[in-house]
């Protein structure tokens, strides 16, 4: 297989789809067989069909949908506030070098604090529920947006900026007309990264909080019930679907909005 030279996209599209479907089917069958064979206790690893059935059943369950809505509200609110905070800050840091170097040391010490470590503190100070979830999400998801904004501004063509400045445009106008549009794809990538981090935090705080509502709460409570593994896995499937939908929607939106820009997608920190 390594003898072939590497074409960028070797397989035709239908082939890729068919193989992907086959891979999913094989895993499904394998877990079905494993679940039914009785090698592992069925309460530990229920067959795939019963997980799927339960997941579909949950889609019509009003209480479950309410839980999903609670999680999504926290996610969306946190992400929106993070954008509102991090993009202007990023623009400030990125366009004023003196501020950037001054703030860098502070940021470098704040960023590595793993956001989940703040959950116990936030629980003590802020109580539980949305009031505690949203600030944690904002804290955790601001970093990628902030960094990508600064990084994007760093990448702006200096000639374009100088040209506009020589035409007598003010700093702020140059920022709006050249820097912001040119940094926008990077900012969008940051928002996409932040969206997945926000989901991690939303579900994570719910799992730990012990009471309240939310998808994470549903999964955590199902884990405490003796026969709840099917519920745990069905909830996890839905959490994955949420992640997938969010990732796909944002990814597609990015492609459509910034088709002109060949951003390097992966590896953006």
Partner 1 sequence: MTAATASAPRARTRGAASRITGGLLHRLLPLVLLVAAWEAATRAADSAFFPPPSQIARRMRELWLSGPADHLYLSSEAGDSIAPSLGRMFLALVLSVVVGVVLGIALGRSQRVLAYLQPLLQFARVIPPPTLVPVFIVLFELGTQMQVASIIFSAIWPILLNTADGARSVDAVQMDTAQVFRLSALDRIRFVIVPSALPKIFAGLRLALSLSLILMVFSELLPGTSDGLGFMLTNAQSQSDLGTLWSVIVLLGILGYLFNSILLVVERRVLARHRGARKANS
What part of residues 234-263 is at the interface with partner 1 (CB under 8 A)? 235-236, 239-240, 243-244, 246-247
Does residue 184 interact with partner 1 by CB under 8 A? no
Q: Are 238 and 214 in contact (CB under 8 A)?
A: no
Say how far apart CA 64 and CA 14 lie, in whole Å: 36
Which of 143, 49, 12 has the alpha carbon at shortest distance from 89?
A: 143
> Residue 130 or 202: which CB sits closer to partner 1?
202
Taking CB under 8 A as the binding criterion, the range among 61-69, 85-93, 107-115, 146-154 that sits at the site for partner 1 is: 107-115
Q: What residue spans of the chain are helical by DSSP H?
A: 13-37, 48-59, 62-95, 97-110, 119-126, 130-154, 158-166, 171-174, 180-209, 215-224, 229-257
Does residue 220 interact with partner 1 by CB under 8 A? yes
The single residue among 39, 60, 62, 114 that binds partner 1, judged by CB under 8 A, is 114
> Residue 39 or 106: which CB sits closer to partner 1?
106
The single residue among 15, 88, 127, 253 that binds partner 1, judged by CB under 8 A, is 15
> Residue 183 or 203: which CB sits closer to partner 1?
203
Which of 239, 234, 235, 242 has the alpha carbon at shortest distance from 51?
A: 234
Does residue 31 interact with partner 1 by CB under 8 A? no
Say how far apart CA 91 and CA 126 lie, in whole Å: 30
Q: Annotate each residue in 141-180 with x if it binds partner 1 (CB under 8 A) or - if it does not, as one string.
A: ----------------------------------------
């Amino acid at each position: 297989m390594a003898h072939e030279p590497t074409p960028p996209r070797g397989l035709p599209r239908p082939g890729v789809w068919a193989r992907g479907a086959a891979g999913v089917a094989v895993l499904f069958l394998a877990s079905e067989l494993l679940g039914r064979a009785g090698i592992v206790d069925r309460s530990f690893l229920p067959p795939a069909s019963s997980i799927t059935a339960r997941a579909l059943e949950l889609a019509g369950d009003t209480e479950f949908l309410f839980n999903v809505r609670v999680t999504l509200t926290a996610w969306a609110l946190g992400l929106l506030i993070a954008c509102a905070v991090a993009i202007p800050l990023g623009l400030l840091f990125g366009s004023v070098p003196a501020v950037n170097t001054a703030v860098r040391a502070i940021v470098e010490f704040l960023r590595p604090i793993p956001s989940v470590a703040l959950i116990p503190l936030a629980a003590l100070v802020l109580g539980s529920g949305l009031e505690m979830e949203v600030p944690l999400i904002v804290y955790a998801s601001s970093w990628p947006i902030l960094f990508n904004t600064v990084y994007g501004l760093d990448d702006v063509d200096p000639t374009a900026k100088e040209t506009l400045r020589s035409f007598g445009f003010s700093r702020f106008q140059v920022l709006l007309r050249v820097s912001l549009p040119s940094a926008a794809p990077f900012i969008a990538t940051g928002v996409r990264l932040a969206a997945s981090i926000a989901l991690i935090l939303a579900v994570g705080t719910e799992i730990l909080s012990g009471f309240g509502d939310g998808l994470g709460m549903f999964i955590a409570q199902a884990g405490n019930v003796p026969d709840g593994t099917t519920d745990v896995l069905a909830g996890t499937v839905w959490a994955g679907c949420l992640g997938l939908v969010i990732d796909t929607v944002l990814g597609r939106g990015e492609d459509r909005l910034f088709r002109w820009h060949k951003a390097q997608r992966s590896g953006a920190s």
